Structure 1
Amino acid sequence: MRVFVTGASGFIGSAVVRELLTAGHEVTGLARGDASAAAVEALGARPHRGDLDDLPSLRRGAEAADGVVHLANKHDWTDPAASNRAERAAVETFLDVLEGSGRPFVLAAGLALPGLGRASTEHDRSDAHGPDAPRGGAENLALERAGRGVRVTSARFAPTVHGEGDHGFVALLAEHARRTGAVPVAGEGANRWPAVHRSDAARLVRLALESAPAGTVVHAAAEEGVPVRDLAEVLAQRLDLPVRSVTSEQLAQDLPFVGAFLSADVPASSALTRELLGWEPTGPTLLEDVRAGFYDR
């Protein structure tokens, strides 16, 4: 099928584009500028100029496609409200184009549901509703529209999608550790993080695009919950630094936005996803990638 992908030149998006092309799909990738366009072309896909604020461009991309994979997010930590509004507007635009067509729409969502006291499952629902909610409440907005002729799938990604070139939470933690001389953990670091290698995440997106029923939630979590203490100790060994226990409040202050996630206990199961789509992760674990030195610099 012809697939329009936002975030196509990013860490996860580029892996998704390669996965789709290998499976025989045609891919058009959203590109903000010359560098992004060149990256999309280098992958073997066709660039489509625009960004998340350019709704007419998003509409044209979706209209020309047999399916849409929406992975881009502005992630403006200085103005999260603007990021949330942009995400909701983009998703609304895609849903308006796809409504009544039966075409697939896979959107990225966060896999962080704290306070459950257990591993979250695909049946658990986020309480994020409305334009002022995280990500503009886009997941619930899309799932609500699944009954209107759009084959919606929410792909919830683990907080850590890892691999060579990752510049997400673990990379930011490593950068902070090098700067301060220690790898911090909240308390004893017993809280857990799900994780997935980006090759496994990309394969899951393709499977969801091809066959997930409308209204499906899938969990891109190869590991249900890596203890943050284990992550900190392996990272500290690589960086030749100590592990330092701090309060959750101190961690959130020292590492804005990232620190709050590092303190959360958010294990997540992907059992239903594996059963539904036959997805079996084969990539390296998070600690294997840390040991491989991908976060040393």
Structure 2
Amino acid sequence: MRIFMTGASGWIGSAVVPELLTAGHEVVGLARSDASAHALAAAGVKPLPGGLDDLESLRSGAEEADGVIHLAFNHDFSDFAGAGRTERAAVETLGGALVGSGRPLVIASGVAGLAVGRTATEEDAAPNIAPESARGGSEHLALSFAERGVRSVAVRFAPTVHGPGDKGFTAVIARAARERGVAAYLGDGTNRWPAVHRADAAHLVRLAFERAEPGAVVHAVGEEGIATRDIAAAIGRHFAVPTESVGPEAAQEHFGWLAALLGLDIPASSQLTRERLEWAPTHQGLLEDISTGAYGTP
């Protein structure tokens, strides 16, 4: 199948591409720069010039494809509302191009915030559905296209998609530990964060594209919830620095922008996803990745 992808050169997308190519698919990737186009071409992807705000490129890419995988997002924390509007317009355009075709539209979403304090499941509805909500309510919008003849699927990723090269949340904690000489966690550190290895997440994206039912929600979660103090302890052991708790008053100074999120308790299950798509994560977990140097060497 000919697949149009956004985010094909990103952290998750660049792992999805070889999954798709190995399975015999052809991939066309949105490229917002010459550097991105060269990287895509080197990976075996046909570049299509354009960005997320280039709705004509999105429309033509979707119309000429057998299906769409939308993984890109503008992570501009200085204008998150604007990023949400861009996301909503992109999903509206991609879905609109596929209406009545039965072709798949797989979009990226997340498990964070679904059910704070309890284990979220695939049956939990996305809390953000309005245009002015986070990510422009794009998950709800995308799934609504299932009623208009699109095989739309939401892949909710764990907030930590780990592996060598990860620059996300765990990388921020590890960098703070190296710079400050202490691996820290907030409060008692019993709050839990789900995680998934990048390669396992990429495999799930392919399965969702090929097999998921219209309107399906799948969870890219390899580990339901790892206590943040255990994450800090693994970082402390690896970098040979002490592990300590920090209070709310010191969190901003230590963790920066991550401080507002690190204290959340957001475990999530992927049991239904595993059963429905026969997905079984096989790669090492987050703590093992930390101990084997995925976040730097001592």
Tell me the TM-score normalized by structure 1. Answer: 0.96
- Whole-Å separation in 2 of the counterparts to 1:19 and 1:276: 19
Matched AA of 1:169? F
1:9 Cα deviation after fit: 0.5
RMSD between superposed Cα atoms in Å = 1.4
Matches within 5 A, 1:25-64: 25-64=25-64
Query: Mean alpha-carbon deviation: is it higher for 94-103 or for 114-123?
Result: 114-123
Distance 1:105 1:248, change over 3 A: farther
Q: Secondary structure at the match of 1:79?
A: helix
Matched AA of 2:220? A
Point out 4+ residue stretches in structure 1 off by more than 6 angstroms: none
Residue equivalent to 2:286: 286
- Whole-Å separation in 2 of the counterparts to 1:138 and 1:223: 25
Aligned residues: 297
Matched AA of 2:17? V
Task: Tell me, yes or no, if the aligned pair for 2:114 and 2:127 is still in contact at 8 Å.
Answer: no
Percent identity between matched residues is 56
Residue equivalent to 2:107: 107
Task: Tell me, yes or no, if the aligned pair for 2:114 and 2:125 is still in contact at 8 Å.
Answer: no
Q: Secondary structure at the match of 1:193?
A: strand
Q: Secondary structure at the match of 1:195?
A: strand
Residue equivalent to 1:163: 163
Q: Deviations over 1:159-208 (max 9, x none)?
A: 00011111111112212222233222111111111111111101100011
- Whole-Å separation in 2 of the counterparts to 1:63 and 1:192: 41
Q: Deviations over 1:266-295 (max 9, x none)?
A: 111100001100000001111111111111
Distance 1:121 1:114, change over 3 A: closer
Query: Mean alpha-carbon deviation: is it higher for 249-258 or for 42-51?
Result: 249-258
Residue equivalent to 1:246: 246
Matched AA of 1:118? R
Matches within 5 A, 1:56-135: 56-113=56-113, 115-135=115-135
- Whole-Å separation in 2 of the counterparts to 1:116 and 1:284: 26
Matched AA of 1:281? P
- Whole-Å separation in 1 of the counterparts to 2:173 and 2:54: 33
- Whole-Å separation in 2 of the counterparts to 1:63 and 1:126: 28
1:249 Cα deviation after fit: 5.7
Q: Secondary structure at the match of 2:12?
A: helix
Residue equivalent to 1:195: 195
User: Unaligned stretches of 5+ in structure 1?
Assistant: none
Task: Tell me, yes or no, if the aligned pair for 2:117 and 2:267 is still in contact at 8 Å.
Answer: no
Residue equivalent to 2:207: 207
1:270 matched to 2:270? The reply is yes
Residue equivalent to 1:175: 175
Query: Mean alpha-carbon deviation: is it higher for 224-233 or for 169-178?
Result: 169-178
- Whole-Å separation in 1 of the counterparts to 2:144 and 2:223: 29
Distance 1:133 1:250, change over 3 A: farther
Residue equivalent to 1:6: 6
Residue equivalent to 2:136: 136
Distance 1:140 1:114, change over 3 A: closer
User: Unaligned stretches of 5+ in structure 2?
Assistant: none
1:114 Cα deviation after fit: 5.6
Residue equivalent to 1:219: 219
1:120 Cα deviation after fit: 0.5
Residue equivalent to 1:232: 232
Query: Mean alpha-carbon deviation: is it higher for 165-174 or for 241-250?
Result: 241-250
- Whole-Å separation in 2 of the counterparts to 1:3 and 1:43: 15
- Whole-Å separation in 1 of the counterparts to 2:256 and 2:138: 24
- Whole-Å separation in 2 of the counterparts to 1:13 and 1:51: 15
